[in-house]
Chain A
Amino acid sequence: MSKLNLVFLGLILSPYVVAEVPTPAKLLAYNCFNCHGDNGVSKGGVPSIKGLPANILELHLKNYRDGTQASTVMGRIAKGLNDDEIKELSSFIATLK
């Protein structure tokens, strides 16, 4: 069943509660919005991240973490993330609409 149909079914059977509980890695992605803006869209010099390709995000985060890419704050944050978290949160940010 398509997602749209699922939601439509939900409307027919309203109130039908659909919920998505984010995984721990997705919750980390939501923490990115604190600096990178609402849903990943920044209002200023900090770059927007919404919808960036997952492989690019993953590469940058790993480079920040390993120090091969210079940063002001990202290196300090990326050092708190493991490979699996980086992969999942990057994939999630890439899907943001």
Chain B
Amino acid sequence: MAMHRRDFLKLSALAGLSVSGCGALRETTSSQNLNARVVIVGGGIGGVTAAKYLRRFAPNLQVTLIEPSTEYVTCPVSNWVIGGTRDIKSITQKYDALRTRHGAKVVHDLVTQIDVEAKVVTTKSGAKFNYDRLIASPGIEMKWDSIEGYNEAASEIVPHAWKAGAQTLLLRKQLEEMKDGGVVMIAVPANPFRCPPGPYERASLIANYLKQYKPKSKLIILDAKDNFSKQPLFIQGWKDLYGYDTPNSLIKWVPASEDGKVTAVDVKRKTLRTEFASHQADVLNVIPPQQAGLIARQTGLTNESGWCPVDAVTWESKIHPNVHVIGDASIAGKMPKSAFSANSQAKACAAAVVSLLQGDDPAASKYMNTCYSLLSPKYGISVAMVYQINDDGVIDEIAGAGGVSPATGNKQLEATFAENWYDNIMADIFA
């Protein structure tokens, strides 16, 4: 692929002419670049995109991605599995192409320590990996016990399903086993959290399932906020599809201002408590508040917000040099915590890392995001935006760009695009 490209740059001209493996030259900058090693922690959307594009931009770079799982069940489209219109196999991605097609090393192990001084990563099995630069894409972790009674053990009974896989299947199973006439309840956190429109897409696709198979049932969203992503389009869609705002509405949304914020969960009794009331459900889905993945916190990459402050051009941590953080764990200005964002960030981060290894100044680029949501298999809506870095070094929306689908937009076409988008972005990452 590199042979077809213009603008060849030598990552390390001097090193290229030196004798490979010559110990005396190892300490110089150029010989360090010769054997430049980038370790990527986390094999989700951000990590895999970064690995692939690092190798595309600098084919001789030594790229090692460390991820415990041997396959990755994507959060995007996992709501479709919960709604019963897609199976989990179709959203399970593999790391084979990263190894065979792109030449990255993939190690299935858990990173237990990042020594930012020595620039060494240690894994659970005791293996050690030196790096010149590290890219962390650790995703999210739940803030257990921020809702009383909701911890990791409780999530085995009442799923969050906010990391895809077993949790997705557990929620699906509970919906299948629920009697007609049952009540499904979803507790939604305040901002920021992974996939801002996700809870409302989930509510829609569960409603779609109930409408077909358990039409006497109801779905109630208890929300810790008063506004949400693509709200007018969701409300319109719920009116079009699920009788919203009528006495027979399948969906009821309770905002924070109407006592929607969930403060406690009793997983055995399947009840949710808000400030003034207690709610009984048949199937409960609690999406708790979130923070950056554990390794980011253990490494001290997070600030008081629980997320990782980074440079908006290079994604290098503002706390620890030579460590970059991308994806949901990062503080990315106006960019939402989405797969598209993580992918857009990973490409820019990969370019910046190669620039930095060459000793060049990375150039600021724009970023993009597009998020589709399905309200039924044939009813899609979207939000899109292009971002630039403002004078304060913060990622901001470009005035006049982006926005949501027009109210009169073609919902069926956008539903098709939503499906295309999934197949295409997954090929961009995993193929």
Contacts and interface: CB of A to CB of B under 8 A. Distances in A.
A35 B420 contact: yes
B384 A76 contact: yes
Interface of B: 1-12, 15-17, 20, 33-36, 53, 57-61, 340, 343-344, 347-348, 351, 354-355, 358, 360, 362-368, 370, 382, 384-388, 398, 400-403, 405, 409-410, 413-414, 416-417, 419-421, 423-425, 427-428, 431
Nearest to A34: B425
Nearest to A37: B424
Given A20-B9, A42-B424, A80 B416 contact: no
A4 B420 contact: no
Contacts of A19: 9-11, 57-61, 354, 358
A34 B420 contact: no
Nearest to A9: B16
Nearest to A36: B424
A17 B424 contact: no
A7 B427 CA distance: 28
A16 B19 CA distance: 10
Given A18-B60, A28-B365, A76-B401, 7 more contacts: A18-B59, A19-B9, A20-B9, A30-B53, A31-B343, A77-B402, A85-B366
Given A22-B57, A72-B414, A79 B420 contact: no
Which range contains the number of A residues in contact with the other chain? Answer: 35 or more
Contacts of B2: 7, 18, 20
Contacts of A30: 53, 347
Contacts of A35: 370, 417, 420-421, 424-425
A17 B20 contact: no
A13 B14 CA distance: 11
Contacts of A45: 416-417, 420
Contacts of B35: 15
Contacts of A15: 16, 20, 34-35, 60
A80 B401 contact: yes
Contact of B358 (A21, A38, A43): A21
A97 B4 contact: yes
**Most A C-beta atoms less than 10 A away, residue of B1, B364, B401:** B401
Contacts of B343: 31, 34
Contacts of A46: 417, 420-421, 424
Interface string A28-52: 1011011111100111111000000
**Most A C-beta atoms less than 10 A away, residue of B35, B53, B421:** B421
B54 to A, nearest CB: 10
A72 B413 contact: yes
Nearest to A46: B420
A23 interface: yes
A38 B428 contact: yes
Given A21-B360, A42-B420, A77-B401, A3 B351 contact: no
A79 B409 contact: no
Contact of A27 (B6, B351, B414): B351
A27 to B, nearest CB: 4
Contacts of A21: 9, 57, 351, 354-355, 358, 360, 362
A38 to B, nearest CB: 4
Contact of A13 (B11, B17, B351): B17
B363 A34 contact: no
Given A21-B57, A79-B386, A72 B409 contact: yes
B294 to A, nearest CB: 28
A46 B425 CA distance: 12
A53 interface: no
B8 A3 contact: yes
